[in-house]
Every structure is written in structure tokens, then in C-alpha cells.
Amino acid sequence: MKRLFPILGVLTAFLLSYGLYQALVVAPKEMTMGDVQRIFYYHVPSAWTAFILFFINFVASVWYLIKRNTAADIVALVAAEVGVVFCTVVLVTGPLWARPVWGIWWTWDVRLTSTLVLWLIYVSYLMLRRFSSSGQTPVLAAALAVFGALDVPLVYFSIWFFRTQHPQPVIGGGGSLDPRMWHALLINWLAFSCFAFLVCWSRYRLEVVQRRVDEAEALASLEDVRSAR
């Protein structure tokens, strides 16, 4: 597996570079919005990647609640951390697009508000994991993750169920994209997905090592206490 990592790293770097070229050079300029529309090739793939990571967090959290499996707990933690990063990209690139197109940075639109709530839920999840030292922290975090996952469908389907200022979806929304736009969009999504996988892989290995070190330190402290007695 260690030999596979650099190969995937090179592949991911190539995909990210190729996706940038597709988004900035190959994809045509949108007639109404102009070049600012090119944010779309990073905003949408970031959202899709965040949704996938939050779904992985949900599945791993449910599995942990059922089996109390340590690996599942680590997967849930890692997926949430990387998912929050991509969700942050969504919340940053959205206003950058909205300001020149809508004339405002932000509006309390259902899609925007539910995305912000989703981000806050998972930031709360990470803060609970980081600052709570209770033995029940993984269980409480898993329960919070299950609750947070309920907001993902609301974010995605909000533009179908509510009147919203947010543009209609590119899939199933009745609109159409130039094939070159589709190509740029999908290449960037693939690149972001590969990058997310590499970060999750590295973070998982680091977390495993960190927990082993913590367990060794705890056992050493326990031995010192016993020796002192």
C-alpha cells in the first residue's frame, strides 16, 4: 500500500492540473455571467466531495454505534475532518460567485442557510472530538454525526422543494451544459475525490499511530502508578 501512495499522488497532481486547464482554458465562457462562472468548476465538485465524505462519516458512525469498532471511529473522524475542509471551500467560493452575479455576498436562502448549518454541525462534531476527554465521546460524536447527516439531503434537495435564489442543479434540473463544461466539471470532481482520498488515507494512518502512542503512554503511566505503590 505504501508503494501505491506516491503513484496515486502523481495521478492526483496530474488530474488537478488537467482540471485547472479544462476549467480555465478549454471550457467556454458562459454568455451571461462571463468568466466568474468558472468558479462553478470548483464550487460544485467541492460540494459533491463534501457530501460523499459526510455520507462516509454517517456510515462509519452507524457502524461504530453497532459494533464499537475502532477503525470505524477513525474513518468517521477522518471523513468529517476532510469533509469540513471541502464544505468550507463551498462556503467561500459561493459568495465569490454571488457578489458579481447577484450583487450581494450572502442571502439567507434555504440552500445557503442549510449548507451553513451543515458546516456548523460538523465543526461542532470536530470540536467535541477535540476537546472532550470523556470515555463516551466517540459515542456522542457518532450520534451527532447521524443527526448531521440528515441535513445533507435537505441541502441537496432544497432547490427542488423551496423557492430559492440558488441556481438550479446541473443534474436533473432541466438545464443543459456545453459538453466541454461537463468535461471540466467531471474531471475536477475526479481530481478532488482523489485528493480527498489521499488526505483521508494519510490522516487515517496518522490517527492510528497517534492512538497507539496514547495507549502506550497511558499504560506507561499506569505502570508508574503501580510501581509507586
pLDDT per residue over 203-229, tens digit each? 999 999 998 897 887 777 777 666 666
Q: From residue 2, give the alpha-carbon distance in Å to each of 17, 77, 212.
A: 24, 22, 19
**Cross-strand bridge partners of residue 30:** 34
| pLDDT band at residue 106 under the 50/70/90 scheme | confident
Provide the Cα torsion 29, 31, 34, 36; round to 10°: -80
Distance CA 149, CA 31 (A): 37
Query: In the chain, where are the structural domains located?
Result: 12-197
Specify the pLDDT at position 156.
79
Which of these, 217, 210, 111, 128, lies nearest to 169 by C-alpha position? 111
Specify the pLDDT at position 15.
96
| pLDDT band at residue 85 under the 50/70/90 scheme | very high
**Where is pLDDT greater, at 27 or 172?**
27
Specify the pLDDT at position 168.
62
Q: What are 29-75's pLDDT values in tens digits?
A: 888 888 888 999 999 999 999 999 999 999 999 999 999 999 999 99
Distance CA 220, CA 222 (A): 5
| pLDDT band at residue 170 under the 50/70/90 scheme | low
Specify the pLDDT at position 43.
94
pTM: 0.90
